[in-house]
Structure 1
């Protein structure tokens, strides 16, 4: 035997019926605060600081790799002379 029950209600009505807490106001407040902080942080970022923040190790290692290659090229040229 199979019984199917269809209930037509809004999410708010279902939460109330099941006794779940009202969280919409809290979610709205948290989202407004999060949006304000994100917009403030985005406004304060400029491309140079962003690159320094995101790629400090990568840029340093690239510079070191370039120096190593140039030193190897220079050593090879000095050996030929």
Structure 2
């Protein structure tokens, strides 16, 4: 014997019938908080700030790296280093 029962109800009605909590207000509050936080972070991240975050030393870091490489290459080739040249 087979018995089929079709129930036509909304998710809210099913939650109420089964005694499950209504989480829609909590979900709406969390989504609003997430949206506010993301908006604030996007406003704070202007292009200059992002570049400073990604490249903390900017061009100074690149120049220092180049000086380091040149001094290492000149030392390896038997040349004088920048320390020796200053003396």
TMscore range, shorter length:
0.5 to 0.7
Aligned twin of 1:16? 16
Q: By percentage of residues, which structure has more helix?
A: 1
Give yes or no for the alignment of 1:35 onto 2:48: no
Q: Which runs of 5+ in 2 are unaligned?
A: 81-87
Aligned twin of 1:25? 25
Q: Deviations over 1:24-65 (max 9, x none)?
A: 122112211221121122111112322443565xx8xx7575
Aligned-residue RMSD, C-alpha? 3.3
How has the CA–CA distance of structure 1 residues 78 and 27 changed in structure 2, closer, same or farther, with 3 Å as cutoff?
same
Matches within 5 A, 1:1-81: 7-54=7-54, 56=56, 63=62, 66-75=66-75, 76=77, 78=79
Q: How many residues align?
A: 75
Q: Report which of the two structures shows the higher radius of gyration computed on alpha carbons.
A: 2
TM-score normalized by structure 2?
A: 0.56
TM-score normalized by structure 1?
A: 0.59
Q: Which runs of 5+ in 1 are unaligned?
A: none
- Comparing 12-21 and 68-77, the one that deviates more: 68-77
Residue 8 of structure 1 deviates from its aligned partner by: 3.7
